[in-house]
Amino acid sequence: MVQYFFEQINAIEISESTTIWLKTIILNENKKTGEINYIFCDDEYLLQINRDYLQHDYYTDIITFDYVKGKTISGDIFVSLPRISDNASTHSKKFEDELHRVLAHGILHLCGYKDKTVEEEKEMRSKEDFYLALRS
């Protein structure tokens, strides 16, 4: 089950087709959908999570907490909507496109992909691009 929550921010509409697309990513990665919660929030809310749980003192667009068991993908994925908006502007992208990239990014983390090294980041971007192309 994929659920969407909003903390300290106005709700945005997430279409059923987006949920189906996210589940398709999971299936394509040979995994099963468990309990996945997207928590949309503002920059300050996510900064506090970054400080409290990861001891990082900087803004980010996404933090993923992994509760995966075997092939069943579960987790809490916190997403800063203002950060996505800023990133979209910076990279001359539409908000919706950047939102989908970040949503896929969280799922890919739960599927086991990392982005700490240059090589891992390259693979993550390749996977994001592949799945974003499926939306078109």
The span from the CA of 128 to the CA of 123, in Å, is 9
At residue 72, the pLDDT reads: 98
Banded model confidence at residue 32, pLDDT cuts 50, 70, 90 = very high
Residue 80's nearest CA partner among 114, 36, 57, 47 is: 47
Domains of the chain: 2-135 (3.40.390.30)
Banded model confidence at residue 38, pLDDT cuts 50, 70, 90 = very high
At residue 113, the pLDDT reads: 97
The span from the CA of 69 to the CA of 89, in Å, is 37
The span from the CA of 95 to the CA of 8, in Å, is 19
Q: pLDDT tens digits, residue range 47-99?
A: 999 999 999 999 999 999 999 999 999 999 999 999 999 999 999 999 999 99
Q: pLDDT tens digits, residue range 12-30?
A: 999 999 999 999 999 999 9
Is 56 annotated in a binding site? The answer is no
How big is the chain by its Cα radius of gyration, in Å? 14
What's the length of the chain? 136
Provide the whole-model pTM: 0.95
At residue 116, the pLDDT reads: 93
Percent of the chain with pLDDT over 70: 99
Number of H helices, E strands in the chain: 5, 4
DSSP 8-state secondary structure symbol assigned to residue 69: B
